[in-house]
């Protein structure tokens, strides 16, 4: 292993020996670099909508006798403020899931209930694009975790599938067992991703096409939130994609044991 020696102290110990104390700051330096990067990205991302709102406010006061222009600028200001508030919300969500490696309120949850909730919350977005959502049966599997966080993870995938697909297409959610794990796969027939892009989509603030993401209200944080939530639940995320054909994003989670509380079963056991 290569170690960057940032700090060494040497002290004589008797006539024949010296004590050399080396501090390995490599990991601390790496974490510090990531933190500095994150703060720089956050500042940059926040400055864009704030700058736009301030310019638009100026434009509104300059155009005060042109009702049509005031309306147009006002609408753009609303759009930028919505973007600003979704950015702030996602930054807070991300820092919460990053710091937390033991999800609160862990419970045993049937996967079906997570998927139904995520699909219900994405239904409006799907309907506006006439995208058909289909959900596979998944009643036999349970996972142990935090219901709200897991719904957030699946919903982010479903909403991305909708955002990065054309109208009148299909988004499917499938579930299958992989040994001790259960895989939840969200498949779309959308624009897909190149190999290079697929390798980077889980990075914070990464967007293939920032202009398109801005239109859909994207922040580039959704998938890093998904990745952290799933890692906190002992799982992993995967992506498979083909440009112009579609993508499959998969969440793999450890299967939780269902607790049977059925008194009839206890009677039989006696």
Least Cβ distance, residue 216 to ligand ADP (angstroms) = 7
Binding span for ligand ADP by CB under 6 A among 22-30, 66-74, 121-129, 220-228: 220-228
By C-alpha distance, which of 143, 157, 231 is closest to 187?
157
Contact indicator for 217, 84 with CB cutoff of 8 Å:
no
Output the six-digit token pair for 161. Answer: 């599938």
- Kindly give the interhelix angle for 147-163 and 111-128, rounded to the nearest 10 degrees: 30
Least Cβ distance, residue 81 to ligand ADP (angstroms) = 17
The correct pick among 247, 251, 252, 253 for binding ligand ADP (CB under 6 A) is 247
Least Cβ distance, residue 218 to ligand ADP (angstroms) = 3
Binding of residue 208 to ligand ADP (CB under 6 A): yes
- Considering beta carbons, is residue 72 or 236 the nearer one to ligand ADP? 236
Q: How far is 134 from 120, CA to CA, in rounded Å? A: 11
The correct pick among 94, 150, 184, 191 for binding ligand ADP (CB under 6 A) is 191
Q: How far is 90 from 219, CA to CA, in rounded Å? A: 8
- Considering beta carbons, is residue 159 or 182 the nearer one to ligand ADP? 159
Binding residues with ligand ADP: total (CB under 6 A): 21
The correct pick among 122, 138, 213, 232 for binding ligand ADP (CB under 6 A) is 213
The correct pick among 161, 185, 251, 253 for binding ligand ADP (CB under 6 A) is 161
Would you call 178 exposed, middle or buried from its count of C-beta atoms within 10 A (0-12, 13-18, 19+)? exposed
Binding of residue 221 to ligand ADP (CB under 6 A): yes
Q: How far is 11 from 120, CA to CA, in rounded Å? A: 67
Would you call 150 exposed, middle or buried from its count of C-beta atoms within 10 A (0-12, 13-18, 19+)? buried
Least Cβ distance, residue 219 to ligand ADP (angstroms) = 4
The correct pick among 182, 193, 229, 253 for binding ligand ADP (CB under 6 A) is 193
Binding of residue 218 to ligand ADP (CB under 6 A): yes
Q: How far is 12 from 18, CA to CA, in rounded Å? A: 4
Q: How far is 82 from 103, CA to CA, in rounded Å? A: 29
Binding site for ligand ADP (CB under 6 A): 160-161, 164, 188, 190-193, 201, 206-209, 213, 218-223, 247
């Amino acid at each position: 292993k290569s170690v960057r020696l940032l700090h060494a102290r040497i002290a004589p110990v008797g006539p024949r020996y010296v004590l050399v104390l080396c501090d390995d700051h490599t990991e601390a330096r790496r974490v510090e670099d990531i933190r500095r990067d994150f703060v720089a990205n956050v500042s940059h991302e926040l400055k864009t909508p704030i700058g736009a709102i301030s310019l638009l406010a100026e434009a509104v006061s300059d155009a005060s006798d042109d009702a049509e222009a005031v309306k147009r600028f006002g609408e753009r200001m609303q759009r930028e403020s919505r973007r600003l508030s979704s950015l702030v919300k996602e930054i807070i969500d991300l820092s919460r899931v990053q710091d937390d490696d033991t999800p609160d309120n862990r419970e045993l949850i049937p996967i079906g209930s997570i998927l139904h909730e995520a699909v219900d919350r994405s239904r409006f977005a799907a309907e506006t694009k006439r995208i058909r959502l289909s959900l596979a049966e998944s009643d036999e599997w349970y996972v142990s975790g935090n219901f709200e966080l897991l719904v957030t993870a699946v919903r982010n995938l479903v909403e991305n599938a909708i955002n990065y697909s054309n109208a009148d297409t299909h988004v499917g959610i499938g579930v299958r067992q992989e040994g001790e794990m259960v895989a939840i796969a969200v498949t779309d027939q959308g624009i897909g991703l190149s190999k290079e892009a697929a390798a980077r989509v889980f990075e914070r603030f990464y967007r293939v096409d920032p202009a398109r993401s801005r239109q859909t209200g994207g922040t580039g944080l959704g998938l890093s939130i998904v990745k952290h939530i799933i890692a906190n639940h002992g799982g992993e995320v995967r992506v498979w994609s083909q440009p112009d054909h579609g993508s499959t994003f998969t969440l793999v989670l450890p299967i939780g044991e269902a607790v049977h509380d059925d008194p009839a079963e206890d009677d039989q056991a006696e």
